[in-house]
Structure 1
Amino acid sequence: MEGRDTYLRRERKLTIAGQLMGTNFEYFHFGSQSEGTTTPGLNSDIDLLCSDKRVNIMTDWRDWEAGMENFLMLRDDITPPQQYLLQVIYPYTPEPVTSISDDRFVRKDSGQILLSSERGKQNIEQKVSRLGEVTRNGPSVSYIPNWDIVRTFPVCKPIPEIHHWIDRCRGRHWPPAKLLEAARRSPSFLVPAGHPDSDYKREEWRLSPNLIERMLMFSFNMTQIKCYISLKIIKTALLNKIVRDCITSFHCKTLMFYTIERTHPSLWKEHNLVFQLLLCLQVLRKWLRLGCLPHYIIEGVNLFDGKLSMVQQRRLLQYVNYLIKNDLQDLFHIDIDEFGCRLRACGILRIGQAGARELDPVRLRYGISCLLKYEYFESCNTELTEIVYGIQSSNTNFQQGIHKLRAVVGNSTNGKLTTVAYDLIYHLFALHTSVQSSTSSRLPNPAFIEIIRRFRYSLKTDVVSSRLKLASVLYCFGHLHAAIRVLEDVEKKDHIKVKAVCGIRDREGDRDLQVFANMMSDSCDNVHSEPSFASCVRFIRQEAHCAPYIFWFEMNRSMTEEEVAQRTTSKKIWMDTAEVDARPFLYYLQYLTYGGLGERNKQLHACEILKSYIFNSRNDIKAHHLETALNLIGHCCEMEGDYQMALYIYEISLLFENTNNAANWHIQRLQRIIGNLE
């Protein structure tokens, strides 16, 4: 349930962030992550569906809308079930387009102009290739590892296939009547995928009732969820060894739908789990014998088509027969998530390599909960980075960005959408406050005091980063005693159980469950406590007067146009900002502030703590901006008059990032200083 809540919040946040940046997409996290039907051992991908609301899909000519991209759904007697062609219609008159004016268009033999699904994917691939290495998997075109990203068109008009299924299910114990009524109002999606045996497979679009399938999954009780997850583990550990990766999670989901529909609800009890698995495998055996696994919702679709050849179906049937006749004994030898042990009522999960620490169920549950919160917090930072870049690249300001977000809240009747919008509003307000303080007078006038007061609303964003910004503002404006009080508060909060979060860079091992389980203290009370996360501290150029002088170099880290050209698209959105991990910045700010107060012993202590933290290999997993942290150490050495050591530290920084690194400026600057001294 926590997994569901997290991913539903993430999809709403993506939709809101898109609206703020001027796109008209609605985002959905379908699949195991948003269903809460995965385990650590299954290592499931993240599925993202992007629904393009700029497009109007017509089921007949009465659906035409002026000013929209209009496409008419076409099918005939030879079109495979679930497949459609999309005829291009003019946006300013309800008439078919007659000429090819777009790379995505093709002409059918009949002369009709169609929107090609294959050319559409090629067009998307060209656009996203600058964001990272592109992988294509069926309808997915993704530039993010372990993500399937599918661009779709929503179908909001009644679809005969869906209504036929609703009528078929009436009067049964499952699906329930309320679900069927909700399904009647639910949109479907056209996915860029053709039938493998069709003459028009490069042009066809597949009708996909994802939201209805989600409703069906959300209606499962806990035993049914466990049965489905068990089926996926069996698929991965046993069935795929027989037929490679030809059996998918969607096959397992379909088996569950048919089994639940035909089984009395009283049988779905925890102690019947193995019996329910046996029923599911018997359903699979039945469909393998018939050579057809029908789609649960859309009639006439064989889910074996294009997935399992006849030879593979016979091979799989033979093995499933063997499993059933041998009382599922092979299940008790599955290692994934210690599945076999769990079936024997063993409640321990081993994480990682042999000999690694064992996690009991309480620590495991806490670790998974922390991981979900961490990933949501991380995605907030990523979306905020893109929003800030979009605001800076346009003629708007942060105040206008906040107004747009509030407009989203005001226009929405969805309370959950409102909650997610405020997650972004708090972050934008924190940035707006900091920018205001940067442009205000250095004198302690009422306007500056009011800006400092506003920082209290920013403290909700995370544990320490907003407090560190406040301390930096106070230091830069000469309020050193106040800065020290804030830093002392930060030091108390930034303890060993705080997890560093960066929306830009990943560290190897960032998502290991052991890391998150370790955030749980030995006190039993901690099981119910909220995990603590610390974002990196970021200063954009409008905040320059809020940041120590050394960070101005980070805002201008490239030395040549060639260096700027080497930046990927994802780097371009943040590299003109100064970004540093919270803990190194805390120690560096302590060094500066204690120095300003003349407290020499505390100043030197802060410098030593900074060095020992960065050079301790155990902290590597927390160092998302190691080159920047090394530059801070180098600057401390400079201020101590040890120029040779400073040069050495800057050179180490360049070993980690040799371009787009402010260390290049520091080395040139220091070499001039040393030359003048000689």
Structure 2
Amino acid sequence: MEFTTSQRSNKKRYRTLETIMEIPEHFKDLSLRMSEVLDDSGAGKDTVLQRRKTFLWRECLMQVGHQLRGNNVECFHFGSQSEGTTTPGLQSDYDFLMSLDDVNIMKVCEDWEAGKQNLLMLHDDITPPQQYLLQAYKNDTPEPETKLLGDTVRKDSGQILWSAEKWKQEIEYQNRNLGVITKAGPSVSWTPTWDTVQAVHVRKPLPEIQHWIDRCRGKHWPPVQLLEAARVAPCFLVPAGHPDSDYKREEWRMSPNLIERMLIFSFNMTQIKCYIVLKLIKKSLFAKIVGDSITSFHCKTLMFYTIERTHPSLWFEHNLMLLLWLCVNVLKKWLQLGKLPHYIIQGVNLFDGKLSMVQQRRLLVYVNSMIKNNLQDVFDIGIDNIGCRLQACYIRRMLQTRDIRGFCLRKSIRLLLKFERLEIFFTLLTGLIHLKLSSNTTLEQDIKYVLRNVFEYSTNERLKTPALEFIKHLYAFQNSIKSSYCLRLQNVVNCQIICCFQYFLNTDVASSRLKLASILYCSGHLQAAARVLEDVESRYDNRVKAVCGCIRNQGERDLKVFANMLSGNSAKGFSELPFASCVRFFRQESYCAPFILLFEMNRNITEEEVAQRKYIDKQWMVNAEVDARPFLQYLKYLTYGGLGERDNQQHALAVLESYICDFSNRIHLHHTETLLNLLGHCYEMERVHNEALYYYRESLRGYGTNNAANWHVRRVLRLLTG
């Protein structure tokens, strides 16, 4: 009986909507077509969930990585990528926030904590909504600071304030060697396509949040459980002032990112797709009218208001265009009023500083036009070829055929997400080991200390998985150092050390196995090395993609690259991923590496060359880094040569040369200069010195300095000149 009553209620509600607007007959069909096109454009349920899972994992990975480096921070990925509300064509940035745990934000003086940087939130009648000033307090006594320190300024009243602008300037200075710095709002970023915000969090209840919770109680959305979670969720203070404030350089903006994430994560798939279409309209259509003045956050806010005011019974796939029409009408209303209120924080107009009155009027004219022509403008969306695919979808439905491209795209996105996850992990791991190698303490002490810390993280359910990955790789590094120590003393690497490698072999397809093969070769176990190399060869095929934690190749993230890898790989975990990282030998592992790689660890001729190295170069140029697939062939050349198997040795050389010299493989090679040096060394061993010299000089064409080829050229020239 309840079901029947609900059905009647839904029909009545739909008839009410029909009286408000004449719902075009084609809306239902267009809704289903739009939903299908979004599925095929990388916005289907599986892809959305995969994005969320990946970025939540990356949050934990980044947090463990930063804390192991001594940075007491919490890490978060926000925005479209982590929400799963994007498509490849939207080219959404990566929004990353680090919150400093060493800073204690006080609402009242009684919140003061000894030993921390204490800051009191100030807000008066002239402070804009959502904005706060932060007054500095002493860290040894609960009294206001009276001296100017670091990033502070003195207010006219004499209060010492922590300046948001000075804080961003300090971040810019500290990271000046990491790349080109870009600043936008609270973000200070040194990585293209990343918006990086360093913030502080407020764990105490805030009146703005409580007011919103009270306003939402009794409504069908947000649900009660979400409101309860929001009540205890921390908010962030990000370094951004109000554009019209007298204290805009000192102000910090209160940002309820975690609550907004909860709201997005509560969306059903129809709501997610509606939100994505809004962003497609924003970027493809609105941008022609007002540029980038309308943002994804505006679209998100429109969604919040529309969902709150629309009955849940309407949020189904066949109503997608109707719901989109409702969202556009909500935008029309706010444009007419000249303000878009923040959904959570009262008194904030999201048009301020973003959309001028002139732009609002222009956009209103266009929005009215969209509504009048029943959203036919969606056929003009060029991003991801949405408009064309809507037409094609109609034709496919008529012919009852299936779009295979959508299936390939979804699989390709999954592989891209896995690839980026590995890439970030190896970057963090390399940076961590480099930091420990640069410290004044002994490496053994450092590794034990790091492992002890990682074990603590592994007891945290949220951080457990990335912590275990760090543990596995750090133990592998420790085991390799032990092997190098044995070989340095001209001892045989004992069976216990060799056996330990079995626990680390599945870090990826090849790198750990190749390091084991290198150790076996260096210790004289040539038959065993050959067996390991044959095993690696059997695992390698054209689907295996190279991944490097140091160098990024242009085009290697293109989805076409990942589409070429597709062959039913399940990619459920690290051991099954079709990726191979570069093989890295730190100086402490030098006796585990072929002799020629020692030159890579000492690649500079002069100290001036060392001074030329950029920050990222310093993390790998003191090591030997070599791409896995070519290194496999180089090790085979050495091993079969030692075994006297000349045919196999010559075959390995031919494969190595063919792979390195094939220009189509350059997108997969991250250390080309090193590979050319290995190839040159093979020809040196073949006593074909002119060919060796040719490849060494080719290596120098890529890196004229900080290249071991400079040593090799000198050596070969001495041989040639007698």
Q: TM-score, normalised by structure 2?
A: 0.90
Matched with 2:10 is none
Give the Cα–Cα distance (whole angstroms) in 1 for the partners of residues 404 and 583 of structure 2: 33
Q: Does the CA contact (< 8 Å) of 1:259 and 1:283 recur in 2?
A: yes
- Partner in structure 2 of residue 354 of structure 1: none
Deviation at 1:428, TM superposition (A): 1.1
5 Å-filtered alignment, 1:199-598, equals: 199-344=246-391, 346=393, 360-394=405-439, 395-397=441-443, 400-401=446-447, 404-410=450-456, 414-441=460-487, 448-521=494-567, 530-598=576-644
Indicate whether 1:622 and 2:668 are aligned.
Answer: yes
Contact 2:508 2:577 in 1 (8 A): no
Q: Distance in 2 between matches of 1:108 and 1:577?
A: 50
Go from structure 1 to structure 2 and tell me whether the alpha carbon gap of 1:254 and 1:345 turns closer, same or farther (over 3 Å shift): farther
1:182 aligns with 2:229: yes
338-347 or 626-635, larger mean C-alpha shift: 338-347
Q: Distance in 2 between matches of 1:602 and 1:71?
A: 69
Secondary structure of the residue aligned to 1:579 is strand
**CA–CA distance in structure 2, aligned partners of residues 398 and 2 of structure 1:** 38
The aligned counterpart of 1:353 is none
CA distance in 2, matches of 1:8, 1:345: 35
TM-aligned CA deviation for residue 500 of structure 1: 0.5
Amino acid at match of 1:260: I
Aligned residue in 2 for 1:352: none
Question: Residue 20 of structure 2 corresponds to which residue in structure 1?
Answer: none
Residues 81-230 of structure 1: pairs in structure 2 closer than 5 A: 81-102=129-150, 104-230=151-277
Give the fraction of aligned pairs with identical amino acids, expressed as a percent.
62
* Conservation of the 8 A alpha-carbon contact between 1:399 and 1:432: no
Residues 68-87 of structure 1: matches in 2 within 5 Å?
68-87=116-135
Would you say the 8 A contact 2:457–2:464 is kept in 1? no
1:446 positional shift? 8.7
TM-aligned CA deviation for residue 426 of structure 1: 1.2
CA contact (8 A) 2:454 2:471 kept: no
**2:332–2:367 contact (8 Å) kept in structure 1:** yes
Task: Report the Cα distance in structure 1 between the residues aligned to 2:273 and 2:218, rounded to whole angstroms.
Answer: 26
Structure 2: gaps (5+ residues): 1-48, 397-402
Give the Cα separation in 1 of the matches to 2:682 and 2:588.
Answer: 25
Structure 1 residues 99 and 413, CA gap change in structure 2 (3 angstroms): same
* Inter-partner Cα distance in structure 1 for 2:650 and 2:682: 10
Letter in 2 for 1:33: Q
Is the 2:488–2:591 contact (alpha carbons within 8 Å) kept by the matching residues of 1?
A: no
| Distance in 2 of aligned mates of 1:222 and 1:23 | 38
Shift of 1:334: 1.2
Partner Cα distance (1:564, 1:467) in 2: 32
| Residue 43 of structure 2 corresponds to residue 12 of structure 1 | no
Q: Are the equivalent residues in 2 in contact too, given 1:347–1:361 (CA < 8 A)?
A: no
Cα displacement (A) at 1:661? 0.6
Whether the 8 Å CA contact 1:402–1:425 is kept in 2: the answer is: no
Measured in 2, the distance between the counterparts of 1:14 and 1:443 equals: 38
Counterparts of 1:21-60 in structure 2 under 5 Å?
21-60=69-108
Name the SS for the 1:538 alignment partner.
strand
Cα distance change of structure 1 residues 603 and 399 upon mapping to structure 2, 3 Å threshold: farther
Higher relative contact order, chain-length normalized (CA < 8 Å, sep 6+): 2
User: 1:585 and 1:398 mapped to 2: Cα distance?
Assistant: 28
The one-letter amino acid of 2:627's match is D
The more displaced of 363-372 and 433-442 is: 433-442
Residues of 1 paired with 2:682 and 2:84: CA distance?
48
Q: Secondary structure at the match of 1:148?
A: strand
- Given that 1:426 and 1:460 are in contact with CA atoms closer than 8 Å, whether structure 2 keeps it comes out as no
CA drift at 1:344 = 4.6
Deviation by residue 1:304-346 (Cα, 9 ceiling, x = unmatched): 0000111111111111000000111111121211212444572
Number of aligned pairs?
665
CA distance in 1, matches of 2:312, 2:474: 49
**1:540, CA displacement in angstroms?**
0.3
What is the deviation of 1:416? 3.0
In 2, Cα distance between equivalents of 1:285 and 1:603? 73
- C-alpha contact 1:20 1:401 (8 A) present in aligned 2: no
Deviation track 1:289-310 (CA, whole Å, cap 9, x = no partner) reads 0101000000000000000111
1:255, CA displacement in angstroms?
A: 0.3
TM-score, normalised to structure 1, is 0.95
* Structure 1 residue aligned with 2:645: 599
Indicate the SS of the match to 2:78: coil
How far did residue 613 of structure 1 move? 0.5
Indicate if the aligned counterparts of 1:348 and 1:360 stay in contact, CA closer than 8 A.
no
Distance 1:150 1:258, change over 3 A: same
Give distance in 2, aligned partners of 1:497 and 1:447.
Answer: 34
Counterpart secondary structure, 2:169: helix
Secondary structure, counterpart of 1:129 in structure 2: coil
Equivalent residue for 2:717, pick from 660, 671, 678:
671
Residue 347 (structure 1) shift: 9.1
Taking a change above 3 Å as real, the CA distance of residues 651 and 411 of structure 1, as seen in their structure-2 partners, is: closer
1:24 is displaced (CA, Å) by 0.4
Contact in 1 for aligned 2:63/2:75 (Cα 8 Å): yes
Aligned-partner Cα distance in 1 for 2:701–2:231: 59
The one-letter code sitting in structure 2 at the alignment partner of 1:40 is P
Once the two structures are TM-superposed, the CA of residue 415 in structure 1 deviates from its matched residue by 1.5
Task: In structure 1, list runs of 5 or more residues that go unmatched.
Answer: 350-357
- Looking at structure 2, the residues matched to 447 and 347 of structure 1 have their Cα atoms a distance apart, in angstroms, of 67
User: Alignment partner of 1:180: what SS?
Assistant: helix
Rounded to whole Å, the distance in 1 between the matches of 2:540 and 2:395 is 32
Is the CA contact (8 Å cut-off) linking 1:455 and 1:470 kept in structure 2? Answer: yes
Q: CA deviation at 1:410?
A: 3.3
Cα shift at 1:363: 1.0
Call closer, same or farther: CA 1:330–1:386 in 2, change over 3 Å: same
